[in-house]
Chain A
Amino acid sequence: MFDFFANPTRFTRLARALLPVMKLITILCFGFGLYWGLVTSPADYQQGDTVRIMYIHVPVAWLASSSYFILALCALFFLVWRHPLADIGARAVAPVGAIFAALTLITGALWGKPTWGTYWVWDARLTSMLVLFFFFIGYMALAGGFENRKRGARPAAILALVGAINLPIVKFSVDWWNTLHQPASLLRSGGVSIDASMLWPLLTMFAGFQAFFIVIVLMRILRFLNEMKQSAPARRAS
């Protein structure tokens, strides 16, 4: 299946077909989700209206973590099959992941001020999100750190995999070090612990951000492919 999508021409065609659909889903989900979350959903009985930051914060945090997963997956594909498209995918995902991680920290700080009384605490979850942000920075620095862009591809992929092995250790060590953040309330044993009136807008925003993520990454990949086509020497079809 990977082989099938690894063909840049086929990928481009597929991406071009997928883009408008994803854009539509993004607009619809953001429209409905924001109205639903910011206007009609109830305020929290303890946190009041500040709880509405959740509709941005939680999907963005989820995407930041899954971006690293995708990055590591692309790195693995690149190292095993040596296909340039996997490298392009990783390069397309990395800055998006970094920005989502930064957004998670910023929205979290804005949420922390009214509820915890401070923008930043050295808590386990905040710190591991910060480390994730550093990992993206390191990946981008290494991938772009060589005179020849292609030369950075394999070192960066190796780094992404080493990081993927190390991330659970970092997560564990930081948990070991300190914990204050409320535990996850969406995915945990014993079912969802969030009321349906808040859950549905949250899930809509999840879908919206997911589609938004796909739109950005696809557009970035298409742009990279286009640049490569323009810089490549003209070749005759044989």
Chain B
Amino acid sequence: MMRQVFTRDLRLAMRRPGDVISTVGFFLMIATLFPLAIGPDSKMLALMTSSILWIAVLLASLPSFDRLFVDDYHTGFLDRLVISNAALWEYALVRIISHFCIMGLPLIAALPIMALFFAIPLSALPLLALIIAVGLFALTLLGAIAASLTLGARRASLLSAILILPLAFPIVIFGTLASQAVLEGQDYSAHFALLGASCLILLVVSPAATFYALRYAIEER
């Protein structure tokens, strides 16, 4: 059942490549804003590379979280899951993973372009991709909480952004510090371990909170 949800999500994404393309485009556009706003001085940009990357990742992924549950909420798929007593937390986890694969991985795939833009050495790229992937997964876990809590609310997308951002501060802090350390060739392990720890805590909290919020949203429809 849950495998079907996963393959369905992938198939839908294949059929609507525009969603992914616009997310990646948004990602690149945000990154372009920084040199335009700060100035083309490469030394200055080199100091800010990891901050620019993380702000671009965070802002580019924020609007995509709205799509996590809204479609299944409106089509009635969620109601059927509740009626058939399916494990909603499992559904939430599968949606988080498929969303990460569909929206998160393309951003990671776009990192080489970022490496060109900001003169990131290619040798640092795999590690940087790993750090950003862990951070993106943690962000998706947060996004699931916010998306499920705001189902049926007024101005849900603005609301969910307001909920996600303060919760995402630790991820941004550990993420930028870890990638900064990688870019400078220093020891990144402590920051990266803390980023991983935050991700693991969210992995425990998020499916449970999302499950309660989804069930309540369906019951109160």
Contact = CB atoms under 8 A, between A and B. Distances in A.
Interface string B133-169: 0000000000001000110111110010011011101
Nearest to A173: B170
A199 interface: no
A138 interface: yes
Contacts of B213: 154-155, 158
A173 to B, nearest CB: 4
B149 A155 contact: yes
A134 B165 contact: yes
A145 B166 contact: no
A45 interface: no
B198 interface: yes
B173 A162 contact: no
Interface residues on B, range: 20 to 34
Interface string A121-151: 0000000000100110110011001110001
B94 to A, nearest CB: 20
A145 B154 CA distance: 6
B209 interface: yes
B174 A173 contact: yes
Given A142-B149, A176-B194, A163 B167 contact: yes
B169 A131 contact: yes
Contacts of A131: 166, 169
Nearest to A127: B169
Interface of B is mostly: helix
A158 B149 contact: yes
Contacts of B169: 131, 170, 173-174
B212 A158 contact: yes
Contact of B166 (A155, A165, A170): A170
B177 interface: yes
A135 B168 CA distance: 12
A159 B173 CA distance: 21
Nearest to A161: B209
A223 B27 CA distance: 47
A174 B155 CA distance: 30
Interface of A is mostly: helix
A146 B153 CA distance: 5
A166 interface: yes
B201 interface: yes
B41 interface: no
A131 B163 CA distance: 11
Interface in A51-92: 79
B154 A142 contact: no
B14 interface: no
A169 B201 CA distance: 10
A165 B177 contact: no
B201 A141 contact: no
Contacts of A138: 162-163, 166
Contacts of A166: 167, 170
A102 to B, nearest CB: 15
A2 interface: no
A165 B198 CA distance: 11
A224 B145 CA distance: 28
Nearest to B166: A134
A155 B211 CA distance: 11
B62 to A, nearest CB: 14
B173 A176 contact: yes
Contacts of A158: 145, 149, 209, 212-213
B174 to A, nearest CB: 6
Interface of B: 145, 149-150, 152-156, 159, 162-163, 165-167, 169-170, 173-174, 177, 194, 198, 201, 205, 209, 212-213, 216-217, 220
7 contacts: A134-B165, A155-B217, A158-B212, A159-B145, A162-B205, A169-B170, A169-B198
